[in-house]
Structure 1
Amino acid sequence: MEHQGAAGQGPEWGPEGAERYPAPGSGQGRRRTQADRDAITVEIGYALFSGVFAAALVFGAVAGPAFFFALPEWAERALPLAGGTLAAAVFVLRITHVLWRFGRRGPDRAGSDGTAADG
């Protein structure tokens, strides 16, 4: 039994199991160019770098006092734990934010208006 496409427009798969692509000009299913793939690679690298940087800042701000000041023992244990937890959350949120914005914007329009890639 063949799986039907959207609104009964026929099967999603061709006769030999090859995926059928949307009609030309529909804006869906176009092949990515090398420039598109390069833009995605750069954006992933930027997301990782900025995520690590933001996480390091958060960790330093929260856990730093435990390393530089004489604090009660509970604080010396709690601050690095809280800093690590917050840093991990900031890392994930930053990467998600950068890549989500890039995905909505698309690789062919990234930075074309002369603005920075992240705002």
Structure 2
Amino acid sequence: MTMYGGRRTQAERDAVTVEIGYALVSAAFVAAVVFGVLAGPVLLFELPDSVGTLLERVAIVLVPLVFFLRVATVLYRYRQGAGQPSQPGRTNPDS
């Protein structure tokens, strides 16, 4: 919503939609990487059953946690307004 409680413009609604999509896609990617790191050795190597079971269980617990944490942090940063430069494409004239 705008600062004074008015309705959102179409551009604002589109920006929120894009940000939600980015949060979900990036969270799925990070969760897949975490799962691959933890459960990958079980699939690639012959590990003792206890180690394999432990890695799989840790992955099953950690992956949803990482997913929701990533979504929350991306949407929180968007709400705070961070990440968007005030003048995109501008550089310091001294550089």
Give your verdict on TM over 0.5: yes
**Which blocks of at least 5 consecutive residues in structure 1 are unaligned?**
1-25
Partner of 2:93: none
Higher relative contact order (CA 8 A, sep 6+): 2
* AA in 2 matched with 1:86: L
**Which blocks of at least 5 consecutive residues in structure 2 are unaligned?**
90-95
Instruction: Tell me how far 1:110 sits from its aligned partner.
Output: 4.5
RMSD, aligned CA: 2.3
Aligned equivalents of 1:114 and 1:86: distance in 2?
Answer: 36
Larger Rg: 1
Q: Which runs of 4+ in 1 moved over 4 A?
A: 109-112
Deviates more, 1:44-53 or 1:87-96: 87-96
CA 48–111 in structure 1, closer or farther in 2 if over 3 Å, else same: farther
Aligned equivalents of 2:15 and 2:34: distance in 1?
Answer: 28
* Identical pairs, percent: 45
Q: Which of 34, 38, 51 is the aligned partner of 1:58?
A: 34
Aligned equivalents of 1:45 and 1:84: distance in 2?
Answer: 23
Instruction: Tell me how far 1:46 sits from its aligned partner.
Output: 0.2
Greater fraction helix: 2
